């Protein structure tokens, strides 16, 4: 089984507008799919910086002197580029979310399909696990997580069941969570419900929304004028944040105008509507079905 099948591979690289001698950043290296595509388009003078906080991803680094692997979370974009004296980037690619490898590695605890420790850390060296979330947070915070990050109508009920379960037993394994939610899990088609529960916990454990917001702001800082940011997202919260930032330059989507009433935004939004995979790609890679790609170019004058 491949480590991860890159989503919207050709489309994302075309929008990145790769120049042979440019500096590019792959913020989500994973199985190296997109990175290898970028390297194929770079000349000898080109350079690629690849981020990934998951130690497993380091095994996929090719022997190519043009690539520098950075084993850190992508909200360290500015500091890491400065430490490498890399200069400004010509393009940045971020394929958000979780990799197939992480989902299909039982001991990582990302999937309801395997009974494993309730972990869900993208970086195993971090302390905050899904078990800790379930064992320590109170009802209002748990309900907020399931409602906001999982878009679950039964968020309050889920929180109630979590609290009831842990009165008798601490959450340790995936089976504990499945048992706690058994009463409200659909019997015939449980996948949609459980996927959202696990998504909500994963986002909380890895602080994904806060990290994404920081990354987007830092990407604007490190891109050279005319450089592009290509983002592939997989759920509405991510996509909305990216859309607002590209459209208005802020996460509230507030139209900022100059003295004469002209909109002020540091981005040229190149994709008014998101680009999605076609039927063939979804058939070959079902996990691509929720992907949405957006692209923006840093304006030469802001």
Interacting residues of 63 by C-beta distance below 8 A, sequence separation 6+: none
> Within this chain, do residues 228 and 167 fall inside the same structural domain, yes or no?
no
Regarding whether 154 and 25 lie in a shared domain, the answer is no
61: domain CATH number? 3.40.50.150
pLDDT band at 43; cut points 50, 70, 90: very high
pLDDT at 108: 87
Is there a single domain that holds both residue 171 and residue 157?
yes
Whether 30 has a pLDDT exceeding 80, the answer reads: yes
The pLDDT value recorded for residue 102 is 81
Structure confidence by residue, pLDDT tens digits, 113-155 = 899 999 999 988 888 999 999 999 999 999 999 999 999 999 9
Contact status, residue 21 vs residue 45, Cβ threshold 8 Å: yes
Q: In the listed set 160, 188, 205, which residue is the last one of a domain according to the structure?
A: 205
Instruction: Give yes or no: residues 213 and 96 share one domain.
Output: yes
Does the structure show a pLDDT above 70 at 158?
A: yes
Name the token pair of 228. Answer: 């592009």
Q: Identify which has the larger pLDDT, 296 or 31.
A: 296
> Among residues 49, 50, 61, which one has the least CA distance to residue 87?
49
Q: What angle do CA 206, 111, 275 make, to 5 degrees?
A: 70
Range(s) of the domain holding residue 151: 127-205
Q: Mean pLDDT over residues 181-194, rounded? A: 94
Let me know if residue 1 belongs to a domain: no
Note the pLDDT of residue 225. 97
Identify whether residues 16 and 96 lie together within a single domain: yes
Query: Quick check: 52 pLDDT over 90?
Result: yes
For residue 233, being part of any structural domain is answered with yes
Answer yes or no: is pLDDT of 1 > 70: no
Average pLDDT over residues 171-190: 96
Q: What proportion of the chain, given as a percentage, has pLDDT over 90?
A: 79
pLDDT band at 3 (very low <50, low <70, confident <90, very high): low
* Residue 64 CB neighbour total at 10 angstroms: 13
Asked whether residue 279 is domain-assigned, the answer is yes
CATH code at position 194: 1.10.150.170
Strands 267-269 and 292-298: antiparallel
Strands 223-233 and 89-95: parallel
Look at the chain and report how many structural domains it folds into. Answer: 2
Average pLDDT over every residue of 235-254: 92
Judge whether 107 lies within some domain.
no
What is the model's pLDDT at position 254? 83
Across-strand partners of 232? 95, 293
- How far is Cα 277 from Cα 65, in angstroms, rounded to an integer? 32
Query: Could you tell me which residue, 193 or 1, shows the higher pLDDT?
Result: 193
Q: Report yes or no on 121 lying in a domain.
A: no
Residue 2 lies in a domain: no
Residue 115 falls within a domain, yes or no?
A: no
* Pair 255, 294 in one domain: yes
For residues 85 and 149, state if they share a domain: no
The pLDDT of residue 4: 67
Where a domain ends, among 205, 239, 269? Answer: 205
256 and 245 within one domain: yes
Q: What global pTM score does this model have?
A: 0.91
The pLDDT assigned to 63 comes to 93
Question: Are residues 273 and 288 located together in one domain of the fold?
Answer: yes
Distances (CA, A) of 84 to 49, 68, 111, 215: 10, 10, 36, 18
The verdict on 92 and 214 lying in the same domain is yes
Backbone angles phi, psi at 292, to 5 degrees: -135, 130
> Do residues 257 and 177 share a domain?
no
Considering the domain boundaries, does residue 122 fall inside one?
no
Same domain, 194 and 215: no
* CA–CA distance, 52 with 44 (Å, rounded to integer): 24
Q: Which of 269, 268, 265 is nearest to 257 (CA)?
A: 265
The predicted-structure confidence for 61-120, as pLDDT tens digits, reads as follows 999 999 999 999 999 999 999 999 999 999 999 999 787 778 878 788 888 889 999 999
Query: What is the band of 42 on the pLDDT scale with cuts at 50, 70, 90?
Result: very high
Residue ending a domain, among 160, 178, 205, is: 205
């Amino acid at each position: 089984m491949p480590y991860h099948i890159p989503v919207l591979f050709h489309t994302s690289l075309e929008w990145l507008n790769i120049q042979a001698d440019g500096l590019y950043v792959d913020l989500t290296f994973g199985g190296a799919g997109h990175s290898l595509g970028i390297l194929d388009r770079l000349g000898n003078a080109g350079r690629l910086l690849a981020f990934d906080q998951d130690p497993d991803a380091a095994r996929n680094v090719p022997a190519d002197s043009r690539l520098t692997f950075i084993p850190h979370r992508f909200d360290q974009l500015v500091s890491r580029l400065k430490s490498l004296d890399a200069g400004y980037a010509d393009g940045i690619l971020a394929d958000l979310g979780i990799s197939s490898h992480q989902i299909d590695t039982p001991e990582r605890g990302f999937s309801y399909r395997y009974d494993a420790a309730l972990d869900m850390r993208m970086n195993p060296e971090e302390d905050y696990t899904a078990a800790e979330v379930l064992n320590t947070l109170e009802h209002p915070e748990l309900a907020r997580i399931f409602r906001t990050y999982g878009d679950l109508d039964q968020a309050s009920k889920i929180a109630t069941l979590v609290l009831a379960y842990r009165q008798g037993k601490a959450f340790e394994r995936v089976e504990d969570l499945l048992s706690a939610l058994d009463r409200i899990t659909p019997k015939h088609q449980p996948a949609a419900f459980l996927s959202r529960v696990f998504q909500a916990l994963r986002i909380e454990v890895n602080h994904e929304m806060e990290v994404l917001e920081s990354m987007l702001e830092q990407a604007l800082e490190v891109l050279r004028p005319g450089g592009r940011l290509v983002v592939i997202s997989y759920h509405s919260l991510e996509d909305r944040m990216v859309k607002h930032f590209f459209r208005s330059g802020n996460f509230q989507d507030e139209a900022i105008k100059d003295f004469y009433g002209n909109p002020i935004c540091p981005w040229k939004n190149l994709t008014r509507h998101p680009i999605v995979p076609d039927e063939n790609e979804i058939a070959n890679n079902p996990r691509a079905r929720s992907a949405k790609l957006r692209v923006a170019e840093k304006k030469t004058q802001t």
